[in-house]
């Protein structure tokens, strides 16, 4: 099975619509193909977020009543009102679907960008623009380089040593990047002012763990090849400080 055929089957596979033979062939392909695995992880993540109820669209007040009234009126001959109500409902559903797709595409793009920036910094050896373990040196360095003041926290005593910081640009926005070290693992912590729709949660992709959360008006994204448990410990320490 090639990737083109496999990716056509991923949607039905996530929805449990494949027959046993097709599912077996797809599973064999997924056991060897990293690219298709990345696609299916995105599909499964979207499915979980939709099912979690965290992204729901509230129908306009009175919509149900108008539809019911139109149905009753339609029975006496005013069918155009019924069809108008149905069309309005379809329009609402379509608009929500488009916005939901755009939301997921933005979050997927952002996740891939933070991983790409992290890998590029590691490969080039240019992980920091300001090199210091002193939070009182790193924090002022951002003045004039970005239009917000990121929190800079020293966690050396808890096993996460501050190495410095740099400025990155993610999805058209400036981000303060703080660089920490846990044993031989580098953690990039991206920070920017929180915006409506910023995602939260934990994901894994291409061998890297990504954790996103918001706190005190700031959005945080930590990425590293450090195991998920310790990266969550890093997040919890930051939130508790």
pLDDT digits (tens, 9 = 90+) for 140-162: 999 999 999 999 999 999 999 99
Instruction: Give pLDDT, residue 60.
Output: 67
| Rounded distance between C-alpha atoms, residue 43 and residue 200, angstroms | 17
Give the domain-ending residue among 29, 51, 73.
51
Residue 196 pLDDT > 70 = yes
Give the domain-ending residue among 51, 69, 89.
51
Please enumerate in sequence order all residues whose Cβ is within 8 A of that of 226, keeping only pairs 6 or more positions apart, or say none.
Answer: 182, 185, 187, 209, 234
DSSP code at position 18:
S
Instruction: Give pLDDT, residue 210.
Output: 93
Domain carrying residue 29: 3-51
What DSSP line would sit under 197-209, residue for residue? T---EEEEETTEE
Same domain (yes/no): 142, 236:
yes
- pLDDT 10s digits, 52-110: 555 455 666 677 777 777 666 655 555 556 566 666 666 555 555 444 444 444 456 77
In terms of phi and psi (left: phi > 0; alpha: psi -120 to 50; beta: otherwise), the region of 164 is left
Counting Cβ atoms within 10 Å, is residue 220 exposed (0-12), middle (13-18) or buried (19+)? Answer: buried
- Under the banding of pLDDT at 50, 70 and 90, the label for residue 15 is confident
- Under the banding of pLDDT at 50, 70 and 90, the label for residue 190 is very high
Same domain (yes/no): 229, 131:
yes
Same domain (yes/no): 225, 136:
yes
Strand, coil or helix: 153:
coil
- Under the banding of pLDDT at 50, 70 and 90, the label for residue 184 is very high
| Rounded distance between C-alpha atoms, residue 113 and residue 110, angstroms | 5
Instruction: Give pLDDT, residue 28.
Output: 82
Average confidence (pLDDT) over 180-194: 95
Q: Is residue 106 part of a domain?
A: no
| Rounded distance between C-alpha atoms, residue 220 and residue 175, angstroms | 10
Strand, coil or helix: 241:
coil
- Under the banding of pLDDT at 50, 70 and 90, the label for residue 14 is confident
Same domain (yes/no): 136, 235:
yes
Same domain (yes/no): 32, 133:
no
Is 208 within 8 Å of 185 (Cβ atoms)?
A: no
- Under the banding of pLDDT at 50, 70 and 90, the label for residue 173 is confident
Q: Is residue 224 part of a domain?
A: yes
Q: Is residue 112 part of a domain?
A: no
Instruction: Report the candidate in 225, 229, 16 with the shortest Cα–Cα distance to residue 121.
Output: 225
Written as six digits, the tokens of 49 are 């977020």
Which CA distances in Å does 89 have to 16, 53, 55, 85, 181? 28, 20, 18, 6, 52
For residue 181, give the CATH number of its domain: 3.30.200.100
Q: Is residue 14 part of a domain?
A: yes
Instruction: Give pLDDT, residue 8.
Output: 73
- pLDDT 10s digits, 103-131: 444 456 777 888 888 888 888 888 999 99
Prediction pTM value: 0.57
Count of structural domains, the chain: 2
Q: Is residue 32 part of a domain?
A: yes
Q: Is residue 229 part of a domain?
A: yes
Q: Is residue 201 part of a domain?
A: yes
User: Which alpha helices (H) appear in the chain, and where do they start and end?
Assistant: 3-14, 20-30, 34-51, 63-74, 79-124, 135-141, 228-240
For CA atoms 189, 194, 196, 200, the dihedral sign is: positive
| Rounded distance between C-alpha atoms, residue 34 and residue 48, angstroms | 21
Q: Is residue 158 part of a domain?
A: yes
Written as six digits, the tokens of 179 are 């660089």
């Amino acid at each position: 099975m090639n990737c083109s055929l496999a990716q056509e089957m991923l949607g039905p596979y996530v929805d449990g619509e494949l027959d046993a033979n097709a599912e077996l062939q797809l599973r064999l392909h997924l056991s060897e193909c990293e690219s298709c695995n990345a696609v299916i992880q995105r599909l499964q993540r979207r499915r979980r977020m939709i099912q979690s109820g965290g992204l729901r669209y509230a129908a306009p007040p009175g919509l149900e009543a108008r539809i019911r009234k139109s149905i009753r009126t339609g029975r006496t001959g005013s069918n155009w009102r019924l069809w108008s109500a149905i069309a309005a409902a379809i329009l609402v559903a379509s608009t929500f679907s488009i916005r939901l797709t755009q939301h997921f595409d933005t979050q997927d793009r952002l996740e891939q960008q933070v991983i790409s920036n992290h890998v590029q910094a590691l490969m080039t050896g240019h992980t920091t623009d300001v090199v210091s373990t002193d939070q009182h040196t790193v924090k002022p360095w951002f003045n004039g380089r970005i239009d917000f003041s990121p929190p800079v926290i020293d966690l050396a005593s808890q096993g996460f040593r501050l190495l410095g910081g740099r400025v990155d640009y993610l999805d058209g926005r400036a981000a303060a990047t703080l660089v920490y070290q846990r044993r031989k693992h580098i953690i990039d912590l991206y920070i920017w002012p929180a915006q409506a729709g910023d995602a939260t949660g934990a994901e894994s992709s291409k061998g890297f763990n990504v954790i996103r959360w918001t706190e005190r008006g700031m959005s945080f994204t930590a990425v590293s090849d450090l195991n998920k448990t310790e990266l969550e410990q890093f997040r919890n320490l930051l939130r508790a400080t």
